Amino acid sequence: MATEQVKPPTEEAKIDLFEDDDEFEEFEIDQEWEAKDEGKEVTQQWEDDWDDDDVNDDFSLQLRRELESNTEKK
């Protein structure tokens, strides 16, 4: 096996042995489950209508103050 001896430094820092931090855990061989109900809770945890017109949060209020104070300076 001809492995390159010279490796970029990032690769070297990475590991002495191979690793995948996110290796999926094994399911038991005979594990079966009802997919329909379970997992549902987790699949409903998303928002796609978050991009509202509300500008009363702290960040927006500060932004407004910033924009107004600056315009006054001019």
Partner 1 sequence: MAAYVSMGEAHRRITEYLTRFSDAVSYQDGQSLSRLLSVSSNSPALLSLADALNTYQDANRIIRQSEKYSQYTDILVPIFRALQSYRLRNLVEAYVAFEKVSNAFIQEFRNWESAWALEALYVIAYEVRILAERADIELASIGKTPEKLKGAGSFLMKVFGVLAGKGAKRVGALYVTCQLFKIYFKLGTVHLCRSVIRSIETAKFFDFEEFPDRDKVTYMYYTGRLEVYNENFPAADHKLSYALAHCNASKEANIRMILKYLIPVKLSIGILPRTTLLEKFNLTEYSDVVLALRRGDLRLLRHALQEHEDRFLRSGVYLVLEKLELQVYQRLVKKIYIIQKQKDPNKAHQIKLDVIVKALKWLEMDMDVDEVECIMAILIYKNLVKGYFAHKSKVAVLSKQDPFPKLNGKPVNS
Give the integer Cα–Cα distance in Å for 14 and 8: 10
Tokens of 40: 């549902």
Site map 29..58 versus partner 1, x via CB under 8 A: xxxxx-x--xxxxxx-xxxx-xx-x-x-x-
- Judged by CB under 8 A, how many residues of this single chain contact partner 1? 45
- Calpha distance 9→15 (Å, rounded): 11
Question: 64 with 55: CB under 8 angstroms?
Answer: yes
> What is the pattern of x (binds partner 1, CB under 8 A) and - over residues 3-32?
x------------xxxxxxxxxxxxxxxxx
Structure tokens at 37: 């109900």
Catalog residues that contact partner 1 under the rule CB under 8 A: 1, 3, 16-33, 35, 38-43, 45-48, 50-51, 53, 55, 57, 59-60, 62-64, 66-67, 70-71
